[in-house]
Amino acid sequence: MNTLTRRTLTAALVFAPALLRAQAPRRLRPTPSQTEGPFYPVRLPADSDNDLLRSGSQQYAKGQPASLEGTVTDVDGRPLAGATVEIWQCDEAGHYHHPGDGGRADPAFQGFGRVTTGADGRYRFRTIRPAPYSGRTPHIHVKVKDGGHELLTTQLYVEGDPHNERDFLWRRLDDAGRRALTVPFRAGGDGLQAHFAIVVEA
């Protein structure tokens, strides 16, 4: 073996691991989990589709209408098809459909929604920009399930909301966690638009 060949082989052995690492796809950071909170429905509403602004025949007209949509993927970026995404939140007056909240929630606000992701992992809800209530910044609770297996429970926050800095759960997040769970609600064609990408260990 001549000198040039030996040098080429040595360089290949030295640099190959680094090249392989550089070419390997970067795994995504899972969406941070947070507490379920006390107001997950005791009994799911008869109307529990993706439109929280309509409960049966009643239309909810308070608050700022918003579309919340996004994708559910695994840490390798693959869409998770057939997953169940649930959201629940308080009405504009700060009340949940839950016995622990005294039954004060507006019956026209569905308060809970559930959808199944498509082949591309996408989901979409029609709701309101979350409202604050005593002790909490505006937020939407989110749960992701795959069959009977719960993959994630977390909370979604509104970028730029002045209540965030005073919220004990939001403050516990590190910078990366805050970026993952805090999204802008921007004006769109039919109200506000928000996009929330969810990454789970599936």
Residue 168: what pLDDT? 97
Q: What is the CATH number of the domain that holds 71?
A: 2.60.130.10
Residue 5 lies in a domain: no
User: For residue 37, what are the domain limits?
Assistant: 27-200
Q: Cβ–Cβ contacts within 10 Å for residue 72, how many? A: 27
Residue 45 lies in a domain: yes
Q: Which 3 state secondary structure label does DSSP give 85?
A: strand
Number of domains in the chain: 1
Distance between CA 7 and CA 15 in Å, rounded? 12
Which has more pLDDT, 115 or 8? 115
Residue 99 lies in a domain: yes
Residue 152: what pLDDT? 98
Query: Which token pair is 63?
Result: 């608050």
Residue 178: what pLDDT? 98
Distance between CA 10 and CA 23 in Å, rounded? 20
Could you report the per-residue pLDDT of 58-85, keeping only the tens digit for each?
999 999 999 999 999 999 999 999 999 9
